[in-house]
Structure 1
Amino acid sequence: MPRDPFRAAITTAVARVRRHYRPATTSTLAPTPHPYAHALGLIAVVVFGAWLGLLVVGSVRTPVGPMDTTMTLRPSLTGGTKINVAPLGALELRSHIAPVRLDVDVDRLDPVRSEALVQHPERLSGLQEEVGSDISTGTRDLAVRSCVAVVSGATALGLAVYRRPRRALAAGGLALALLAASGVSAYATWNPKSVLEPKFSGLLSSAPSVVGDARSIVTEFDVYQRELARLVTNVTKLYDATSTLPVYRPDPATLRVLHVSDIHLNPVAWQVIGSLVRQYDIDVIIDSGDTMDHGSAVENGFLDPVRDLGVPYVWVRGNHDSRLTQTYLTRFGNVHVLDDGRAVDVGGLRVAGIGDPQFTPDRSVPAQGAAAERLAGMRLASALRAQEQAGTPVDIAVTHEPDAARETDGTVPLVLAGHVHHRQNELMPFGTRLKVEGSTGGGGLRALQSRKPEPVRASVLYLDRATRRLQAWDEITLGGLGLTTAEVSRHLPEENTPKESPSPTTPTTSP
């Protein structure tokens, strides 16, 4: 007898419902998720929900002096503060270490307020108080808005994922706790003098006047709000210039030295060096070697642009530079070749150096390694001590290899080197500061063999004309082959960083 299809369907449905409500036995239980999986899932919901909340509603519009800005908290692994000044570029400050970064976007310059400042410079004296008040107000509003944003975002996402109000509220509470912990971390690591070492990108990297001269850095940079007011003033004037950036007016009490190294036959380096000489009003160029690749006579014509740079050029031989290279450079009137501890007075400085004892392209001579470099450094140190005893102390020593440079510790205030194609900055045990420059030629033609372009690097050193001691330096980093990025970062030696705030004075302005 054929089975009734309708009755069979009913029977099957009832059986399924009974199985669903039947108490589960041990054999039919589904695998219980590990507690860690629950925790990781909750953390993911909290972090993602908080991020969505900040993204959607976690920003505030607030005036800062003559500018209208938008302040936002963003998740970050390194923290810090980023000030976006469209279309001029951005400034990055290592202001704190926390999993959140403060982004400040300059939306526009209020024409009424900015014109009042430009037309009446005397009003700048009260700008620091106004900016400090604006920043405090904006920060408080941002803190409240961020709390609401992270709690709302995490709670909403928790409700959508878990569909349980208790679990959703737990996600919101955990998000608030995470934000509070981030705030405590930011407060504990807050660095008010981070503005002493800003990193510039975009068109701002072409405007050294934004950070002022070396003397003002040492005497006037004290607290964060004061310098933020100074920064706002400079940005105001940058906007007012519109089509041209302000001209950098060098401080007559400051010597400017351009440190380059490891050009390696890259002709672009001469254009970069020439531009930096003009832009920064450089007094002296110091090249710590490896200008060539093979040191052959046929390469010597590459050096001819040195004669047209318009400033003294101090050079030491690198391990890719031959004696032929050295002899060719001695023909140029503006070039000072240093070797065997020779010292010269140039641009108000006394500089001594020694060439690299090894010429590595010559494979017929076995490499002597670091021992030969250290021996050369010892010879230079001996020459420096002799200069000191003769009453003509050297201000800057130059080698190519850092191992040789380290042997001069205690005999000179500053020693420059290259060779390693990346920057190093080290205050050695006996007081000598070692500065190693990267490749101003972006690694030269050999960079074509690398997967990623090597940046073009150079540094501008600011030295006091009276004491001839290092006051500050700017590190210039340009994108390598095929890249068009530019960064300038300002640095101060620890011994020149202000330890306490000076007495209040009327702030000065620079173009």
Structure 2
Amino acid sequence: MNVTDRTQALRRAAAGRIARAIAVVLVALGGAWLGIALGGPVHAAVGPVEIGMSAEPSWAGETVVDAHPLGTLLFDTHNAPVGLRITLENINPARAGALLDDPRISGQFPALLEKELREGVKTLILRAALCGLAGALVAALIVFRRPGPALASLLSATVMIAGTGAAVAVTFRPNSVVEPKYTGLLAGAPSLVGDAESIVTKFESYRVQLAKLVNNVSQLYDAVSTLPVYDSDPESIRVLHVSDIHLNLIAWNLIHSITAQFKIDLIVDTGDLTDHGTGPEDKFVKEVSSFGVPYVFVRGNHDSKATQRAVGKQKGAVVLDDSAETVAGLRIYGLGDPRFTPDKSVVVDSDPESLTALGRAHATRLGQAFEPVDLVAVHDPTIARAFSGAAPMVLAGHSHERSTELLPSGTRLLVQGSTGGAGLRALEHDEPTPVAASVLYFDRKTHRLRAWDDITLGGLGEQSVQIERHVETDPGRTISPGPTGAPSPTGSPSGTTTP
């Protein structure tokens, strides 16, 4: 055999060994996951709740609490290719009553829950690891039918399971329990997610949050009681932020539901209530008087001055247009959009730089003419960014796509999606525009944002809802005038396109 033939033979042999090694790893991976899926789930009692726990593949690395039929809670607990699913299977009414009513037991409730949950997770980890190793070994014996590859597969599964466990341990975030993402029915959302007090004043305590969660689930599953009331929290002011309703009656239904379920104190609408600002459309605004809470409105580029006047005539309406007013304890400044897009009757330079300059001019006047404000409401995000440093919080809409950012000055900008699913525009795309709104929790004493829930419904009025909670990490930060930032990355430039 010459040198060339020998080299080719060595290459073929090396390629064969690599292919066998890859095959061993793939069989080990498949067998391990099959073993975990079949034999890994465990059952445990955590407080009054009987739960099932299982490990499952998940590139996101998350923990899912399935409280069927009410919905699911998702927590971003770790970064590893494995997820934890907890299924609430049953409630022990006797133990639930004892835990919820006896002050001696309730004082130890958080520690008890943590202990029982930790024991359940330890059992799950041990069982999943053993079943995974067994699955890898059995799969290799079935596929290769030789002890060598089977042992190699077992070793590969051991390394993979150990590595995954290490990744979970290193990236574990226990405080993620205060920022769940809820998916389910709107009626059950406030009770399952938690009350405002636990969001605003106790978000630093993991154990107390765990107790709150189990308390809520226990009450929801109590067969002899109705859904629990979403108790008012005296330490928070609840603000419902809506925008871009565009004549969609679905929005009124949603606002009524959220206002009742979340005990809203005031509503802020950042414009585009109508489509063309015509007289017949003004009848649409009569619903504003039916909510029973103040309705703060700033004009959008689809709302005429006549629309603005029609809103102002409604009971409870507070129209702000280069003006400020204290509503439900918050000092709010509002500025109507300078344009009226449908008939181009107002000539305004809609170039982003010009809109930024316009916003800066109003922000300067705001600082000079009024007492400090807690909240600024405008329609266009480009104008909104110009108020950076003028207030701790700025609300906007226009783009039909929700986003939030912390501006360099410390001001938080929240751009709302379309609470009306963009009206008839919902039919212009393959996927309907989601129906969006947010509940903001402000501290009643400091008037600073402490947390907010982003509420999203499927387009065209689907009844299921997703609620994603966010906690403000530094609510007491200093707000100082600074750069306004670049024009909004979402949506089109404000001048030529009329969302």
TM-score computed with the length of structure 1 as normaliser: 0.85
Alpha-carbon contact 1:354-1:376 (below 8 Å) kept: no
Which amino acid in 2 is paired with 1:486?
V
Equivalent-residue separation in structure 2 for 1:211 and 1:96 (angstroms): 20
Secondary structure, counterpart of 1:107 in structure 2: strand
Judging changes above 3 Å, is the alpha-carbon distance between structure 1 residues 94 and 118 closer, same or farther for their aligned structure 2 residues?
same
1:443, distance to aligned residue in structure 2 (A): 1.8
The 5 Å alignment of 1:262-341 reads: 262-339=244-321, 341=322
Within-5 A mapping of 1:407-418: 407-418=386-397
Q: Is the 8 A contact 1:89 1:204 kept in 2?
A: no
1:373 positional shift: 2.1
- For 1:367 and 1:376, the matched residues in 2 are separated by 10
Alignment partner for residue 134 of structure 2, among 145, 152, 164? 152
- Match of 2:269, as an amino acid? D
Unaligned runs of 5+ in 2: 477-499
Deviation at 1:367, TM superposition (A): 6.1
2:329 corresponds, among 344, 348, 352, to 348
Q: In the alignment, which residue of structure 1 is the partner of 2:400?
A: 421
Q: Distance in 2 between matches of 1:358 and 1:458?
A: 24
Please give the residue correspondences for 1:171-182 in structure 2 after superposition, counting only pairs within 5 Å: 171-182=153-164
Structure 1 residue 322: Cα displacement: 2.3
Q: Distance in 2 between matches of 1:274 and 1:118?
A: 31
Describe the shift of the 1:47–1:204 C-alpha distance in structure 2 as closer, same or farther (beyond 3 A): farther
| Separation (CA, whole Å) in 1 of partners of 2:377 and 2:233 | 25
In our comparison, the structure showing a higher alpha carbon Rg is 1
The one-character-per-residue Cα deviations of 1:149-197 (angstroms, maximum 9, x if unpaired) are 2111122222222222211221222122112111111111111110111
The aligned residue for residue 419 of structure 2 is: 440
Q: Provide the rounded CA distance (Å) in 2 between the counterparts of 1:241 and 1:260.
A: 35
Deviation at 1:463, TM superposition (A): 1.2
For these two proteins, the number of residue pairs brought into alignment is 470
Distance 1:409 1:247, change over 3 A: same
Three-state SS of the structure 1 residue aligned to 2:124 is helix
Aligned to 2:107, the other structure's residue is in SS state helix
- Report the Cα distance in structure 2 between the residues aligned to 1:326 and 1:56, rounded to whole angstroms: 62
Letter in 1 for 2:254: V
In the alignment, structure 1 residue 47 sits paired with structure 2 residue 26: no
The offset of 1:257, in angstroms, is: 1.0
1:91 corresponds, among 73, 77, 86, to 73
* Kept in 2: contact 1:456–1:477 (CA 8 A): yes
Name the CA distance, whole Å, in 1 between partners of 2:248 and 2:409: 36
Runs of 5+ in structure 1 lacking a partner?
1-23, 498-511
User: What do residues 328-375 of structure 1 show as CA deviations (whole Å, max 9, x unaligned)?
Assistant: 223224222222x21122222211121222333336868623123212
1:84–1:106 Cα contact (<8 Å) kept: yes
Shift of 1:215: 4.2
Q: CA deviation at 1:384?
A: 2.1
Letter in 2 for 1:357: P
1:304 maps to a residue whose letter is K
Q: 2-side partners of 1:182 and 1:242: how far apart?
A: 43
1:299 is paired with a residue whose SS is helix
> Are the structure 2 counterparts of residues 28 and 252 from structure 1 closer, same or farther at C-alpha, using a change threshold of 3 Å?
closer
Amino acid at match of 1:377: G
Cα deviation, 1:425-448, whole Å, max 9, x if unaligned, reads 212111111111111111211111
In the superposition, relative to structure 1, how do residues 87 and 369 fare at CA in structure 2: closer, same or farther (>3 Å)?
same
* Gap change, CA 1:438 and 1:37, over 3 Å in 2: farther
SS of match in other structure, 2:201: helix
CA 1:41–1:296 in 2, change beyond 3 Å: closer, same or farther?
farther
Alpha-carbon distance in structure 1 between the residues aligned to 2:390 and 2:10: 78
CA 410–166 in structure 1, closer or farther in 2 if over 3 Å, else same: same
Q: Distance in 1 between matches of 2:426 and 2:381?
A: 22
Root-mean-square deviation (CA), in Å? 2.7
**What is the CA–CA distance in structure 2 between the aligned matches of 1:294 and 1:39, rounded to whole Å?**
67
Q: Distance in 1 between matches of 2:8 and 2:176?
A: 63
Q: State whether residues 357 and 376 of structure 1, in contact with CA within 8 Å, keep that contact through their aligned partners in structure 2.
A: no
TM-score, with structure 2 as normaliser: 0.87
Over the matched positions of the two proteins, sequence identity in percent amounts to 45
